[in-house]
Chain A
Amino acid sequence: MPQNEVVEGLDLDRYKYHFITEDEPVFRSGRGLNEKVVREISAQKDEPEWMLEFRLKALKIYNAKPMPTWGGDLSNLESVLDQIYFYVRPQDKMERSWDDVPPNIKETFEKLGIPEAEQKVLAGVGAQYESEMVYHSLKEEWEKKGVIFDSIEDGLKNHPELFREHFGTVIPSADNKFSAMNSAVWSGGSFVYIPPGVELDTPLQAYFRVNQEQMGQFERTLIIADEGSKAHYIEGCTAPVYSTESFHSGVIEIVVKPGAHFRYTTIQNWSNNMYNLVTQRALVHENATMEWLDGNLGSKLTMKYPSCYLLGEGAHGSVLSIAYSGDGQHQDTGGKVVHAAPNTTSQIVSKSISKGTGRSTYRGLCQVHEGSVNSKSNVECDALLINDTSRTDTYPYIEIDEKKSNIGHEATVSKVGDEQLFYLMSRGMNEEEAMALIVRGFIEPIAKLLPLEYAVELNRLIELEMEGSVG
C-alpha cells in the first residue's frame, strides 16, 4: 500500500458504535446450542456430509469439555450461551458488487466508512455482516495470479479438496472448549489461498461486524500461503453497543508453507459487553515467516493468544500485540510460540494499557522442544497503568527442553507519572491530550507497523478512550 496516501473518511467517532440497523434476518436458529441447531446450520449451508459429521463430532467434544478455570471470569458465560442465537443469515445470496448490496446493510457499511475507504485505498474487501459474507470484491490482478479470497462457505463449495486438506488441521476441534464450539457452529469468515511464489503488495482486508442482538459470531478463517508466497491479511471489527452480554468465538487457521511470508493483522473493537474468546494459530514451515499483529480494544473479556508453531528449520514467528482495558474490561492476551525445529526464531512483544478499573493480563507460552538447537526467542511485555485502580498481571510460561537455545524475557510496568503529565501540560496540552500522547507513544513501536488508515483509526480510538480519563 502506498505509504504517502492520506486516507480520509475513517474519522470514527463514538456514536458510530451505537447505531443499530433495522433488518429482518432470512433465517435465525433457535436460542442456545444443541444438535438440532448444528444440523440446521449445516442444512442451510447445503454442506457435504463430511462437514456435518465434523460439526456433530465437535459438538460432542464441546459438551464433554469443562469450562476453563484459568484466564478471565467465565462464571456468567453458561447463562449467556443459553440465550444467544448461534446462527443468523441476513440474506440468501453472496454479493460481489457494491451496487447490489441491500440498502440497510449498505447503510451500516457507510456508517463504518467502508465505501470511502474503498475508494481511496482498499483494493479487495471481504466484509462479514452478521454470519455471512455479503460483500466480497477482489482485485482482478489477484484473480489472474490465482489468489483465492472467498467466504469460508464458498471456499468449501468451490475448492473442496484444498479446503478439506487443511481445514481443522491447524486447530483441531478438541484443542479447547471454544475451538470445539466454533467447529460445531462456525459460520462466515474467509478462505484464502496464495499460490506458490505470488507476492501481494496490497493487503487483503475483511471487515466484519456483529449486528444482531444476542447473536453469537463464530467466524472461521482458513488461510494457506503456499511456498515462497508473500501476503498480508487485515481484519478489523467494530460492534454496536448493546445492554445484554454478547459472545464471539472465532477460529483462525493459517498454514505458512516453506519460504512463505504471511502477516495477519487484527484491530478488534468489540462493544464492552462482548465475551471474545478466539483461537488463532499458524503452522510455520521451513524458512517461512508468520507475523501476528493484534490489537484488542473492546470487549468485556478477551482471551486470545495468537500462536506460531515453528515446524520447519529456519522458521520465524512473531506476535506483536496491543491491548487496552477500560473500566470493567479484562484483556487476557499474549502469544504462544512453539519451537519444534532447529534454528527457529521467535519474538513476542506485548503492550497493554489499563485505565480506570481495567485489567490487562499478559499470558504467554514459549516452548522449545528437544532437538530444536540454536533456537532463539525473545519475549517483551510492557504494561502501562493510567490510574491507581488499574491492574496488570504477567504470566510468562517458559518450557525449554533443548539446552542449546537462547530465550530472553523482559517485562516492564509503568504508570503515567505526575512529572510526565506536568511536562506535557506545561507545553499547553490539557490532561487528556497529554495522556493520549503518552499512550500513543507507548504503543508506537507496534502502531507504526500498521497500514496508515489503521494507525489513524487506532490513534483516534485511543483518544476517545482517554477522554474522561482524568479523575
Chain B
Amino acid sequence: MSDSPILSIKDLHAKVADEDIDILHGVNLEIGRGELHAIMGPNGSGKSTLAKILAGHPGYETTSGEVLYEGEDLLELEVDERAQKGVFLAFQYPVEVPGVSIANFLRTALQARLGEGEEVDLFDFQDELLAKMEILDMDPSFAERSVNDGFSGGEKKRNEILQMAVLKPKLALMDETDSGLDIDALQVVAKGVKRLQEEDPDMSVLIITHYQRVLQYIEPDHVHVMIGGQLVRSGGAEVAADLEAQGYEQFKTPATG
C-alpha cells in the first residue's frame, strides 16, 4: 500500500492544554509519500500548533478528529515513539542543551532507536555525520559544540537540518525553519532538504512558513493557506505566488469562534 498517504488528518480540533483556548477548528490534510507540502499563514493562524501537535507537544490537547500516520493513530503515540517511527520536527525555537555536544546528542538519539544489546557503530556514525555536515556547509568542529548553546539564529536552524539529515525521517515537519535566515543560509537549508529528498524520494516534507520566499528555493507540490485554525485554500505552487501578490487579507473572514 505504498500509494496510501503517509499522513492523513481528518477534521482535527485542538486547544491549549488545561485552558479553554481553541486553536485548530477542523483541519483536513493528506500528505502522500515523497510529497512536499507547504502550509502558509499569518501569525496566530495555528500553523505552528499543527506541527507541534503532530510531534506530540504536551502543551496542546486534541478535542476531536483523527490523525493517521502510516495507517496508525498518531495521537495515541508518545513523543519518542513518533520520532522512532519517522516523524521529525525541525523546531522554530530549538532548545539549548548545555554540555551535550551535537555529536553526542545525535549518537544518543540514534542509539535510542536500536534494540537492547545493539550499539551505534561509532566509525560509521562519524563518517555519516561528517558527510551530512559537508552537504550543509558546516565545519566539522560544529559537531563538538553544545547543542544550540550560544548559537546564532542561523546556526540553530542549520543544526535542526543537520539532525534531520542524520535521523532520516519519513515525515519531516519544518516549523518556520526559514524565519531569521539570510539568503545564503536559506539556500544552504534548501539545498540540504533537496539532497535528503534525492537520497530518499519517499521522504515527505511539510513546510510551515509565513513567507513564500523559502518556496522559491524548495518548490512545493502542494500549498495550503491556514487562517483561523483551518485550511482555507489548497492548490499548487500558484497559491504561493498568489499570496505574494495579494497577501493574506483576501482570506480574512469574520471569526467563527
Contacts and interface: CB of A to CB of B under 8 A. Distances in A.
Nearest to A438: B97
Contact of B99 (A420, A423, A443): A443
A422 B56 CA distance: 8
Contacts of A426: 55-56, 79-80, 82-83, 88-89, 91
B167 A420 contact: no
Given A419-B95, A441-B97, A428 B84 contact: yes
Interface in A281-312: none
Interface string B37-63: 000000000000000000111110000
Interface stretch (A28-36, A150-158, A429-437): A429-437
A308 B167 CA distance: 48
Contacts of B83: 425-428
B112 interface: yes
Contact of A429 (B57, B59, B96, B108): B108
Contacts of B110: 428
B112 A430 contact: yes
B28 interface: no
B215 interface: no
Nearest to A382: B98
Contacts of B78: 425, 430
A442 interface: yes
Contacts of B82: 426
A261 B12 CA distance: 66
B108 A445 contact: no
Given A418-B58, A433-B108, A427 B163 contact: yes
A445 B105 CA distance: 16
A425 B167 CA distance: 13
A440 interface: yes
Chain A: number of interface residues, binned into ranges: 20 to 34
B100 A437 contact: yes
B97 A425 contact: no
Interface in A247-306: none
A420 B97 contact: yes
A466 to B, nearest CB: 13
Contacts of B163: 427
Interface in A100-147: none
Contacts, number: 78
A423 B94 contact: yes
B213 to A, nearest CB: 26
A418 B56 CA distance: 12
B100 A441 contact: yes
Nearest to B96: A420
A426 B79 CA distance: 6
Given A418-B59, A422-B57, A427 B97 contact: no
B109 interface: yes
Contacts of A420: 95-97
A444 B100 CA distance: 8
Nearest to A422: B57
Contacts of B97: 420, 423-424, 437-438, 441
B146 interface: yes
A437 B94 CA distance: 16
B222 interface: no
B195 interface: no
B109 A429 contact: yes
Nearest to A436: B108
A443 B100 CA distance: 10
B91 A423 contact: yes
A420 B105 CA distance: 13
Nearest to B59: A418
Contacts of B99: 440-445
Interface string B180-192: 0000000000000
Nearest to B82: A426
Nearest to B89: A426
Interface string B105-147: 1101110110000000000000000000000000000000010
Contacts of B109: 424, 427-429
Contacts of A425: 56, 78-80, 83
Nearest to B93: A419
Q: Which has the most chain A C-beta neighbours within 10 Å: B56, B106, B109?
A: B109
Contacts of A428: 80, 83-84, 109-110, 112-113, 167
Nearest to B108: A437
A79 B72 CA distance: 61
Nearest to A424: B97
Contacts of A445: 99
Nearest to B97: A441
Contacts of B105: 427, 437
Contacts of A423: 91, 94-95, 97
A425 B98 CA distance: 16
A142 to B, nearest CB: 34
A374 B163 CA distance: 48
Nearest to B94: A423
Contact of B79 (A422, A437, A438, A442): A422
Nearest to A431: B80
Contacts of A438: 97, 100
A427 B81 CA distance: 9
Nearest to A414: B98
Interface string A438-460: 10111111000000000000000
A464 B132 CA distance: 33
Contacts of B57: 422
A252 B109 CA distance: 42
Contacts of B59: 418
Nearest to B109: A427
Given A422-B55, A427-B109, A430-B80, 9 more contacts: A423-B91, A427-B83, A427-B112, A428-B80, A437-B105, A441-B97, A442-B99, A443-B99, A444-B99
Cβ-closest 8 pairs across A and B: A441-B99, A444-B99, A441-B100, A428-B83, A423-B95, A427-B109, A425-B79, A428-B112
Interface of B: 55-59, 78-80, 82-84, 88-89, 91, 94-100, 104-106, 108-110, 112-113, 146, 163, 167
24 contacts: A418-B59, A420-B96, A422-B58, A422-B79, A424-B97, A425-B79, A425-B80, A426-B80, A426-B83, A426-B88, A426-B91, A427-B109, A427-B112, A427-B163, A428-B80, A428-B112, A429-B108, A429-B112, A433-B108, A437-B100, A437-B104, A442-B99, A443-B99, A444-B99
Interface of A: 418-420, 422-431, 433, 437-438, 440-445
